[in-house]
Amino acid sequence: MACTVYTTPSLSMPNPHLHQRQVIFFTSTKRNQFFRGQNRAFTVSCSAEAKTVVIGLAADSGCGKSTFMRRLTSVFGGAAEPPKGGNPDSNTLISDTTTVICLDDYHSLDRTGRKEKGVTALNPRANDFDLMYEQVKALKEGIPVEKPIYNHVTGLLDPPELIQSPKILVIEGLHPMFDERVRDLLDFSIYLDISNEVKFAWKIQRDMAERGHSLESIKASIESRKPDFDAFIDPQKKYADAVIEVLPTQLIPGDNEGKILRVKLIMKEGSKHFSPVYLFDEGSTINWIPCGRKLTCSYPGIKFSYGPDSYFSNEVSVLEMDGQFDRLDELIYVESHLSNLSTKFYGEVTQQMLKHSDFPGSNNGTGFFQTVVGLKIRDLYEQIVAERASAKTEAKV
Ligand SMILES: Nc1ncnc2c1ncn2[C@@H]1O[C@H](COP(=O)(O)OP(=O)(O)OP(=O)(O)O)[C@@H](O)[C@H]1O
Ligand SMILES: O=C(CO)[C@H](O)[C@H](O)COP(=O)(O)O
């Protein structure tokens, strides 16, 4: 961290007069403090450099954040695990390059507190945005923090855990783009926009099949969260650099089963370090049905679309896939028609998809576009690192 040190000639002086400045590298976490040394007083004033690349991932609960995180960390290599020897109910996942923190840890009200006050976890009143901002900022500047833990098993706030500043920090949860101060710390932001019909289908699949909840309780839970979801979570999508929107298919008229999906990757134009992926010809409007000799498709087939559009008054490029793959190895045919994928070798998207074929959404646009966004994030990270390295070299010359 680069800091300016102001020194005084002697401690005996009233109102220390700052007369000397020099820039040093200071590793203490004690910033902007007044220190007394041997016959000298020091005031350390730091304008800390960003060290960590910060990514925000917003979505409602049960909308695929964990799955997306697993795909992202896999792109960087290495497995993501909870902090070693820590709280077994920690929500944090750490790999060699990335640390994923769950913003549920900034709930200021525990489950009982929320019940007493009649607010949901989606309501800003149930969350501590000041602490979220302070800690994300500190981590971005390379300073470790003691982050609280929200325990989803007990519904209580557990003692904090120590989080070291990683190369890439992902903040995932309900509100990564809600608070302007936190939003400004993000180098890239993603919103997973799951339509109500699909969210319902996924919730039924998980909460009924895997958690034994009744259909009525799932419906009631979705309904009770909806007003706060509409007020506080959904509006964040206008800030996202990339939105993955998941809708029911249009290939089967009237389908509301939520099994075959139409998925849009909405990519903001002009975001720093991010250039949208395109199909065939950048900026053109394209409809493509790739089924035939090179891609096996069963009913109802696969349709891709690509083109420019406007999203909350921002210029965007939209890539859409409706339908699902029968054979994942044939995805290479689709991949070879896409450009600007930021892959390191031919077929890397297909390789990633095959590696995680057991993850939800691997046969459709959800898994495909999550993988593509993961590769774009790796590219963004590498660009930022390269820029910093060249800035340092220039500063030395
Ligand atoms: N792409 C997908 N296709 C089909 N189902 C999916 C997909 N992504 C997620 N799901 C379903 O939603 C469930 C939740 O996914 P995941 O754990 O990734 O979401 P989450 O947002 O992290 O959830 P939570 O916040 O509740 O922990 C999965 O178990 C699966 O049933
Ligand atoms: O929306 C959520 C974020 O994932 C959860 O509902 C919120 O964190 C409260 O958790 P719990 O239901 O375990 O008390």
Ligand 1 pocket test, pick from 61, 66, 233, 364 with the greatest ligand atom count within 8 Å of Cβ, gives: 66
Phi, psi of 56, rounded to the nearest 5 degrees: -110, 135
228 lines ligand 2 (CB under 6 A): no
Output the DSSP codes for 115-179. HHHT--TTSGGGB-HHHHHHHHHHHHTT--EEEEEE-TTTSSEEEEEEE---SEEEEEES-TTTS
Residue 121 CB–ligand 2 contact under 6 Å: yes
- Looking at the predicted complex, does its ipTM rise above 0.85? yes
Instruction: Tell the residue nearest (CA) to atom 1 of ligand 2.
Output: 61
What are the pLDDT tens digits along the chain (397 aa)?
Answer: 544 444 433 333 333 333 333 333 333 444 444 444 444 444 444 556 778 999 999 999 889 999 999 999 999 987 889 999 999 999 999 999 999 999 999 999 999 999 999 999 999 999 999 999 999 999 999 999 999 999 999 999 999 999 999 999 999 999 999 999 999 999 999 999 999 889 988 888 878 877 778 888 888 888 889 999 999 999 999 999 999 999 999 999 888 777 899 999 999 999 999 999 999 999 999 999 999 888 888 889 999 999 999 999 999 999 999 999 999 999 999 999 999 999 999 999 999 999 999 999 999 999 999 999 999 999 999 999 999 888 878 887 6
Q: Please count the CA atoms within 13 angstroms of the CA of 300 that sit on its side-chain side.
A: 15
pLDDT at 191: 98
The pLDDT of residue 141: 97
**What is residue 48's predicted lDDT score, i.e. its pLDDT?**
61
* Amino acid making up residue 181: R
- The ligand minimizing its distance to the Cα of 66 is 1
Distance (Å) from CA 126 to ligand 2 centroid: 11
Q: What is the pLDDT of residue 40?
A: 46
Atom of ligand 2 minimally distant from the CA of 104? 8
Verify whether ligand 2 is closer than 6 Å to residue 126 (CB atom).
no
Instruction: Give the integer Cα–Cα distance in Å for 285 and 306.
Output: 6
Res 45: pLDDT: 46
Distance 202 CA to ligand 1 centre (A): 7
- Taking the C-alpha atoms of residue 17 and residue 350, their distance in angstroms, rounded to an integer, is 64
The ligand 1 atom nearest the CA atom of 367: 1
pLDDT computed for residue 4 by the predictor: 41
Q: Going by CA atoms, what residue is nearest to atom 18 of ligand 1?
A: 64
